[in-house]
Chain A
Amino acid sequence: MGLASASTATDGMQLCIFDLRRGQNEGQELDKILFFFPADLPFSTQLSVIGLSEGLITFTRIFSPEAACEIIEAERHSHVFYEAETDIWMVMADFPVGKKLQLPSFRDCLKERGTVQMLTMGREAAIEVQSLVSVLDSCAGNSSCYSMILFHDLLVSTTLSPDDTINLFTYAVLRLSPNALSSGVNSWSYIRRGSTSSHFVSGSALTHSGPVSEQIYHSSDTSPVGNNINRVTRALQHGKWYKGKDGFLVTDIWGVDVGSLVCATPTVWLQQTEEAMYLCPYQFKSLTLILLIPVSSILNGEQGVALVKQQLLENASLKILKVEEKLSKGWGGENAYHVSGYRYLLVDGDRNISRASPPGKVTTLAKESLLALSKLRDEVDLEKSRAKRDNAGCEKDLEVSIRAKNNAWAIARITGGKELYMVLEKASETLLYASDAVEKFSNRYCNGAFSLD
């Protein structure tokens, strides 16, 4: 929710991610910008926003070296800070032009990890997928690979840990999925992509460097190896991935391998196993497979990776075809998970999975409904944090219903670690009616998980 709300915000709002360790030398300031929204802002403005944030961080650290500032509310602006990883900061800056934004806790938005959207499939397809997964995971011989499979922008399968899954899933949806690759086509993904491609192309991205590259998620404790300090990998750049003839996606973000003059295969760092992995995405129609090969298992660099890729094609092509066919057959289109009459968000906090009404449908909600929903979420967040404080182990069941000005119902039900948020604009009559509608939804789409009695 956080990001989605942020990107639709007004002109006054900016979101930036920057790395404090980078760009400390004159002339290299741009290096520190990892992400900036809106991207079309001039660099000078971007740098000044970051500069101000940097200053505030440095200043507040004097008083609290361990935990720097969280929120600064000033008359003309407000800043929300979140240190995602050591020295990597996410800052949301709000310079209200007119009215101040009313959104639930900004900081929680920044802290909140994304969720994964899963594809629902039948048993037969699931078995086929699983069969494919075992081929993928074993295609580098003895060392076990990891894999993730997406269909359109939905997760089909993963063998990664939940944390790594979210990270890679988010990256895949933003940069690797067919939707992400075909720029210009508007993604229906829950996480909106920036519509303009990034302006902060680093001049050094294409310059030489060894095959050693940085990881996306791990802002390595060791500073970038190699003698070129200018070398900065900007993994989040738009439009840098493209599909090769063999179906594998390639990018030059990670530079070019000196020996073979091919694009270096990106590497990522898995938090769970603390292992560096080669990232090999493969795409067939709407199916995206991401194969992660342990770097340690490949002795001869790019050549070795190419060999594994070739093996994957040999062993898995037929299964990939089959899986794509099965999934396409059962695919209900981008409005597959729309339930008419309902606007919902279903979150499984334990599994970090969510499902929601398609964006196209959510945008039909009236402003009053959205305000009620925002209020509802405030309440729920408050209640949740209170419950967490009271007793950490136990899960709390909760039901909140709010009547909006337009007579819509905004309802939240939380039970057993699962959350259901819902807006019913047409259930105007009574609370009983609204509650009944939730019950129906729960029985029909959630195996009765939210049916209270």
Chain B
Amino acid sequence: MSGKASSSSQPSIGLSGSGALSHIYIQYPPLRCSIPESRGLHYDDGTKLLIPSTSNQIFSWKTVPFNPLATSTSDSIPEGPILSIRFSLDTKLIAIQRSSSEIQFWIRETSEAFSHRCRSDSENILGFFWTDCPLCDFVVVKNSGLDLFAYDSVAKSLDLVEMRKLNVCWYVYTHESRLVLLASGMQCRTFTGFQLSSAGIVRLPKFDMAMAKPEANSKPVLAAEDVYIVTVYGRIYCLQVDRVAMLLHSYRFYRDAVVQQGSLPIYSRKIAVSVVDNVLLVHQIDAKVVILYDIFADSRAPISAPLPLQSRGFPRSYSSSSRSSGKDGECSEVNNKIDHEGIIYGDNWTFIVPDLICDVSNNFLWKIHLDLEAIAASSSETPSVLEFLQRRKLEAIKAKQLCLGIARTVILERRPVSMVSKAIDVLVSSYSLSLKTGSYFKGIKTESTSSGVAKTSVARSSTDVSTSRIDGTSIRHESTAGVDSEYPSRASTFSASESEENASSAPLRTDSRDLQLGGGKVDRVNLTGAHSSGPTDNPVFVNISEQQDSELTSPAISPDEMYKFVFAAVEEEMVGDPSYLVSIIVEFLCSTNMEKIKVHPNLYVLAIQLLARNERYAELESFVTNKILEPSKEVALQLLESGRQNIQTRKLGLEMLRQLSLHHDYVSLLVQDGRYNEALRYARKYQVTTVRPALFLQAACSSNNSQHLAAVLRFFSDFIPDFRTTSDFTTYYGILNEMNTSVAATSF
């Protein structure tokens, strides 16, 4: 169906796409958490554990990092109904909701249990969660409001810290955002929000969500499953489905305001929302397609056309007949069990924010992946594709490779300079930003400390970097998928507008950044191992172990890499007039100059070679005199080299050596040019003693002028002590005498 569109757009970028008919996929095998006699399946987003249960036992699978082969740990618990389960953030306790009025706590270490019950019968427990807020550890959401408790580990009981009274119809909460939204009112569209951050509790202003009326007197009621809290680029948004208007409204949370940010159209009665690597995915379940949005800038335009979600690695793919059938045998077991045609967006799919899909009927857990290659191939708007790729960090290496490939392609295809220039701007400003935020070096550092080095020390230094950055830009963001919390590369224009925004209405995030930091921290500690104990004072970036050790954290491309993987690579392949490449290099210099980034001299050398090849010596000269090509020894030597064909260019090279005070090279070259008198003067002035006298003597000798030779001999006798005892002196003194006698002989 959309195969055509996809395949026709790919060549325009020139990438060898993965042949995908989709932009996102789930990868076989899933995480299977089937257990015998399973009674229910729960997910705890605080600890990111997937928890199937039987009547007296619970199993827990870590979902971050996502590993299909992960094994579970199990806990035996008192028998009874299980409405929901949440592990404490340090995973020492398990809270189990037994009924609408009772929560049981199970202390894993000692296998003790205690219970918490509502005070009055009229109160209903709607839900609960653990928090890292300094005031409390545990929050119970009831229809009558919030109860905040502190856990007393000695008395093994909950102490009520605070109560917030208000009517609650239902609530939504994500640990990622630390934000709880409480719905109230007839239509359940009036919201009170609290953020329970490590900085304290922030109460958000009350606000109403927009809902279109189907007809005059009917009032639709908003349901909990129509509201999503998502975290994108470290900002907290709420997305709300309006089925009447067929719109997905978005709200952004600031400390003192909730601002509606515009709406996205929806094409399905039933939708679901995921976030992968800060890309918002809106699943149009009825239509079995997904639309991707990158809501980094103000644009609400989708990244690309709606395409289905693909499942990869299945022996027989549901849509692609071209898929090789070689692996058929492998998964026959799965084949038997699952009807592949029906699996995608089946009724038994539950979407877990941010990026998981739970197939409750099969007890499968899928992780959603972005197909960066397919996304890149589906758009011909190169600069925006690059911007998009530069913001990715989950697959930073892949994004980087794609960017380099795109950059090479647009140059090789000789696209208009203005367009290539924009593309280069994107890459350069992204690199510049990654320098400022430290993420570029962080990536390098991580690479170099791949093993053996104590994690914390690396983490500490990273923290320092990121802290200073926070102060600078007031922006921070937490990765939802747990790679790390670096801010992705972003265009400077954006960050400017961002800080303005901060100044004017103080986004919630900024003020409560400790929350974010702390949040990341606790997450990671719990994830990286149950063995770690003190969650609160661990550094933020302990998550290094979560990444592949050598993984880059930023797809930013340094000027050296631009030279090596783009310009030098392209130059080899390019045929015909090199002036196009010169123009591109100028545009690159323009960008780097704007960002005050240093360029590798090899790029200048390349520019000289190209100009010389075109015999554009006059222009080359203006490039050099105007310092478009910054002076360096490499540049000077290339000028000398290219100067073999053009004396002016050679002069420029000599001049540059002189101005760089590369005395030795300058003097040697003067001698080489036969300008030994000048060379001697210069050598005396700058005390250049490294050039062998023999060179001068040879040059003077070849002039066949005995006076010159005598002068040079005399010079060195004065200039270098003990020169008269060297073999050079003896040799050339002899030659001088011969010259004089022969002159004398001929004159007589």
A residues with CB within 8 A of B:
121, 123-124, 126-128, 130-131, 134-135, 137-138, 144, 157-162, 165, 315, 350-351, 397, 416-417, 447-449, 452-453
Contacts and interface: CB of A to CB of B under 8 A. Distances in A.
A350 B618 contact: no
A449 B655 contact: yes
A449 B682 CA distance: 12
A453 B586 contact: no
Q: Which of B417, B622, B659, B681 has the most CB of A within 10 A?
A: B622
B626 A135 contact: no
Contacts of B655: 447, 449
A121 B498 CA distance: 35
A452 B587 CA distance: 39
Contacts of B623: 130
A162 B618 contact: yes
B685 interface: yes
Contact of A126 (B618, B627, B647, B659): B627
B651 A134 contact: no
A252 B371 CA distance: 62
B583 A138 contact: yes
Given A350-B648, A417-B651, A134 B583 contact: yes
B587 A121 contact: no
B684 interface: yes
Contacts, number: 69
Interface of B: 417-418, 421, 577, 579, 582-583, 586-587, 589-590, 593, 616, 618-619, 621-623, 626-628, 630, 647-648, 651, 655, 658-659, 678, 681-682, 684-685
Contacts of B648: 350-351
Contact of B590 (A127, A161, A397): A127
Nearest to A417: B651
7 contacts: A134-B579, A134-B583, A158-B619, A160-B618, A351-B618, A452-B681, A453-B684
Contacts of A144: 577, 579
A350 B651 contact: yes
Contacts of B678: 397
B582 to A, nearest CB: 8
B417 A134 contact: yes
B659 A447 contact: yes
Contacts of B593: 123-124, 127
Contacts of B421: 131
Nearest to B583: A134
A121 B627 CA distance: 10
B622 A157 contact: yes
A127 B622 CA distance: 11
Given A130-B628, A134-B583, A138-B417, A448 B651 contact: no
The majority secondary structure among interface residues of chain B is helix
Contact of A127 (B418, B618, B628, B658): B628
B586 A131 contact: yes
B590 to A, nearest CB: 5
A416 B626 contact: no
A449 B678 CA distance: 13
A349 to B, nearest CB: 11
Nearest to A130: B586
A126 to B, nearest CB: 3
Q: Which of A124, A127, A137, A416 has the most CB of B within 10 A?
A: A127
A351 B626 CA distance: 14
Contacts of B582: 134
A123 B628 contact: yes
B504 to A, nearest CB: 30
Nearest first, the 3 A-B pairs at minimum CB distance are A126-B626, A134-B583, A130-B586
A315 B590 contact: no
Contacts of B647: 350
Contacts of A126: 622, 626-628
A453 B683 CA distance: 10
A381 B67 CA distance: 86
A128 B616 CA distance: 19
B420 to A, nearest CB: 11
Contacts of B628: 123, 126-127, 130
Contacts of B681: 452-453
B651 A131 contact: no
Nearest to B682: A453
Q: Which of A130, A131, A135, A452 has the most CB of B within 10 A?
A: A130
Contact of A135 (B417, B589, B684): B417
B657 to A, nearest CB: 12
A121 B590 contact: no
B583 A127 contact: no
A123 B630 CA distance: 9
Contacts of B417: 134-135, 138
Contact of B586 (A134, A159, A315, A452): A134
B590 A131 contact: yes
Given A159-B619, A350-B647, A416-B651, 16 more contacts: A123-B630, A124-B593, A126-B628, A127-B589, A127-B628, A128-B590, A131-B587, A134-B583, A144-B579, A157-B622, A158-B622, A161-B618, A165-B618, A315-B418, A447-B659, A449-B655
Nearest to A158: B618
Nearest to A129: B626
A351 B621 contact: yes
Contacts of A127: 586, 589-590, 593, 628
B679 to A, nearest CB: 12
A304 to B, nearest CB: 20
A158 B659 CA distance: 25
B649 to A, nearest CB: 11
A134 B416 CA distance: 11
A440 B593 CA distance: 32
A2 to B, nearest CB: 24
Nearest to A134: B583
Nearest to A132: B586
A69 B628 CA distance: 48
A127 B418 CA distance: 15
A121 B579 contact: no
Contacts of A124: 593
A161 B618 CA distance: 7
Nearest to A316: B418
A135 B582 CA distance: 12
B314 to A, nearest CB: 50
Nearest to B594: A124
Contacts of B685: 453
A253 B421 CA distance: 40
A351 B618 CA distance: 8
Contacts of A121: 626
Q: Which of A134, A135, A160, A447 has the most CB of B within 10 A?
A: A134
A127 B421 CA distance: 13
Q: Which of B417, B587, B626 has the most CB of A within 10 A?
A: B626
Contacts of A165: 618
B626 A123 contact: yes
B513 to A, nearest CB: 36
Contacts of A447: 655, 659
Contacts of A417: 651
Contact of B627 (A123, A137, A453): A123
A143 to B, nearest CB: 11
A397 B677 CA distance: 11
B492 to A, nearest CB: 17
B334 to A, nearest CB: 57
Contacts of B589: 127
A160 B684 CA distance: 41
A416 B678 CA distance: 11
B687 to A, nearest CB: 13
Contacts of A162: 618
Contacts of A448: 658-659
B183 to A, nearest CB: 51
A174 B441 CA distance: 56
Nearest to B678: A397
Nearest to B654: A416
A417 B651 CA distance: 10
Contacts of B618: 158-162, 165, 351
Contacts of B586: 127, 130-131, 134
